[in-house]
Amino acid sequence: MRGGCNWVGVVWRGRGKKTRYSSYTPPKYPTVLGPNLPDVWIPSTKSQRPQSSASFPNGQAAAVIDGKSIAQDIKVRIAGEIRRTKAAIGKCPGLAVVLVGERRDSRTYINIKLRACEEVGIATQIAKLPENCTETELLDVVSDFNEDPSVHGIIVQLPLPQHLDEEKIMTVVSPEKDVDGFHPLNMGNLAMRGREPLFIPCAPKGCLELLLRFGVEIIGKKSVVIGRSKIVGLPISFLLQRHHATVCTVHPYTKKPEEIISQADIVVSDVGIPNMVRGNWLKPGAVVIDMGTNLVKDPSSRSGFCVTGDVCYKEAIKVVSAITPVPGGVGPVTIAMLLSNTLDSSKRAFGFS
């Protein structure tokens, strides 16, 4: 994250207690938090509604936004920074992961994150707790990681078992190590223009990285976010507003969602319903960021399942100007943002720039 940090708040404390990469220069593009422009209202003198400049010729295939290659570029930069830090001060970033229970999907996500950390040189620790652990036991583990100077980022893998208070657990994670960006102080500063959170949630941050690196114009564009979860929908709405888009949120109680979505220049979806957004819901020339990850039955697959997004890809690609595939779109960049947040946290702790 560029620039200084205006974050002010309380640090929550607990109880006591080789892949080789070549050098890489990241491309120049706007900061993820967006330009700090003043609000200047200019009354419209037009009597009729202007037509959007977004259009896409019929019959031409949409551009596919390749998250894998973008994520690899980001990891190359991170690996280089970690090597430079280690050579200068003999230290490297550390990430701690807390896993409760034996959910198969949670174990899979954790393994992907641990492998990515190993690729770039981030040291990892993992604390595994049983499904029936008490809230006190979990809080003690998080508090210990808060106090550990070798740990610069803490992830509590979600979802947690129902008997545990998820909000309480996330609030106990130190805001200075909250690399998931879910602490109320980080989320609150993200929502307030003029302030900077210590961390931006990884999936929304990855979404903005894709838009910026792909050169998508955001300022003044109509953007629709489908879903309002604290992990994706809410923070991506904040980020798009900070980039001066006109943002509308579609949720389960929205009436005629397809009419609202059809007006959007940028569509971001994360609702967990496979192929919910049809091609005829989308405006010609729109940019679609599909953040849904859904397992659906597929007899032709060896596993019997395939992964699909919230947007009907085969229909959308005939209408939109650019779209992220599922898998291979936002997912790899989300993992790269976790690595980036952990690196930023360690450099802040080391006082190293």
| CB atoms closer than 10 angstroms to residue 61 | 8
Mean pLDDT is lowest, of 24-33, 97-106, 218-227, 316-325, for 24-33
User: Mind listing the pLDDT tens digit for each residue in 139-156?
Assistant: 999 999 999 999 999 999
Provide the pLDDT for residue 304. 81
Provide the pLDDT for residue 194. 87
Q: Residue 299 — very low, low, confident or very high, per pLDDT cuts 50/70/90? A: confident
Between 128 and 14, whose confidence is greater? 128
Phi (first) and psi of residue 167, to 5 degrees: -65, -40
CATH 3.30.1330.60 for domain 7-14+58-70+202-331, yes or no, is no
Mean pLDDT is lowest, of 17-31, 156-170, 175-189, 249-263, for 17-31
Provide the pLDDT for residue 60. 56
Active site annotation includes 157: yes
State the average pLDDT over residues 73-94: 97
Tell me where in the chain the CATH 3.40.50.720 domain(s) lie: 7-14+58-70+202-331
Quick one: tokens of 79?
């690996």
CATH 3.30.2040.10 for domain 93-176, yes or no, is no
- Distance (Å, rounded) from C-alpha 141 to C-alpha 15? 10
User: Mind listing the pLDDT tens digit for each residue in 252-289?
Assistant: 999 999 999 999 999 999 999 999 999 999 999 999 99
Tell me where in the chain the CATH 3.40.50.10860 domain(s) lie: 93-176
- Ordered DSSP codes for 292-351: --EEEE-TTSTTSEEEE-SB-HHHHTTT-SEE--SSSSHHHHHHHHHHHHHHHHHHHHHT
Provide the pLDDT for residue 181. 96
Of 91, 177, 180, 221, which is the active-site residue?
A: 180
Active site annotation includes 105: no
Active site annotation includes 256: no
Of 75, 91, 113, 177, which is the active-site residue?
A: 113
3-state secondary structure of 288: strand
Q: 125: Cβ–Cβ under 8 A, 6 or more apart, which residues?
A: 94, 95, 96, 97, 145, 151
Peptide bond into 149 cis (omega under 30): no
Of 75, 91, 157, 177, which is the active-site residue?
A: 157
